[in-house]
Amino acid sequence: MGIEQLLRNAGYRAVGKQGSPYAFDVIARKHDSSRTLILKCVEEIRDLSPKTALELKRASKAFDGSVVVVNEGAPGQIEGLVQKRYGIPVISPNTFKKMLRGEKLPLIYTSRGGIYVKLRASILRKRRKELRLSLGDVARELGVSRRAVLEYEKGKMDASLNVACKLEELMGGDVIENLTFESLEGITDLSEPATTPGKEVKDEVLLNLLKTLEKLGCKSYIFSKTPFELASKYKSLVKLIVKKLKGEESEDVEELIIDLAEVTGSKAFIITPEGEKKEHEHALIVPFSEFRNKAEDLVRQALEQ
């Protein structure tokens, strides 16, 4: 069973399918959630390339989503252990299934220097106060410095497995963060190399559209390994997915873009080689001849709907 069907069985609206040629396989969201889930499956962890990781990060920022890679070939990956590649969480298929079922798992992840347990910083401080323990008291029990305990409480540092076990024994299990798609965002590194946006766009129409979006105050993200070329945010709320259809591209691509707009709470802005202007609940479709003369007005229309 593909990840898209597992998601649908768990109550998600899922678009895409496992094994797609794009940077992501599936984008999904529950009807009662504002967060989007962006998923990619790989046969081996090293199959996640820097370019794919970069576009997954951009999709996460554009759609306010949690990005997760499922490592299908993970016989050596410890169950429940989250690995990272290029800053993106990588989990095993069984861990993914358990998360969908809502099973309670601690967030344990690998990072430079070892294996760490994610702590609930605010609860940790509150519990210490309730137990009337000083920083020094906790430090002695854990075998760490007072500074380390302070960093735990500020959320600036997580604990080793050994320290986390002592901490759980001292203060209770609820000081350990549970493994959820949302909590994975706390260990995801969305940083990317500095680039000049215009240099990544070669198409003149898209370059002019990018400039129009920036003029209107949009934050835009550029893609080359997704069904769309641009994704923009306006005032951190309205999201716009931009696609310039080529003559040989089928209606299936258009439908995919509209489905992605719906599941991400976005508006699709699709430029077609010819035809008539069409408006949908989640899309504005315009022929190039009209876009060429009214680009800014059409973008404003899409953002304001």
Q: What is the pLDDT of residue 202?
A: 80
Q: What is the pLDDT of residue 196?
A: 57
The span from the CA of 257 to the CA of 240, in Å, is 11
Q: What is the pLDDT of residue 185?
A: 94
The span from the CA of 170 to the CA of 109, in Å, is 22
DSSP designation for 24: -
The span from the CA of 131 to the CA of 108, in Å, is 26
* Nearest of 72, 65, 56 to residue 19 by alpha carbon: 72
Q: What is the pLDDT of residue 184?
A: 95
Domains of the chain from N-terminus onward: 3-115+181-187 (3.40.1350), 119-175 (1.10.260.40), 197-304 (3.40.1350.70)
DSSP H/E element including 112: none
* CB-based burial, 34-67: b 16+ in 10 Å, e otherwise: eebbbbbbbeebeebeeebbbbbbbbbebbbbbb
The span from the CA of 37 to the CA of 16, in Å, is 12
Count Cα atoms within 13 angstroms, Cβ side, for 173: 5
The span from the CA of 97 to the CA of 72, in Å, is 12
Q: Tell me how far the alpha carbon of residue 137 is from its chain's centroid.
A: 39
**Ranges of the chain with pLDDT below 70:** 74-77, 195-199, 248-250
Q: What is the pLDDT of residue 76?
A: 57
* Nearest of 212, 218, 211 to residue 197 by alpha carbon: 211
- Per the CB < 8 A criterion, the answer to whether 245 and 254 are in contact is yes
DSSP designation for 229: S
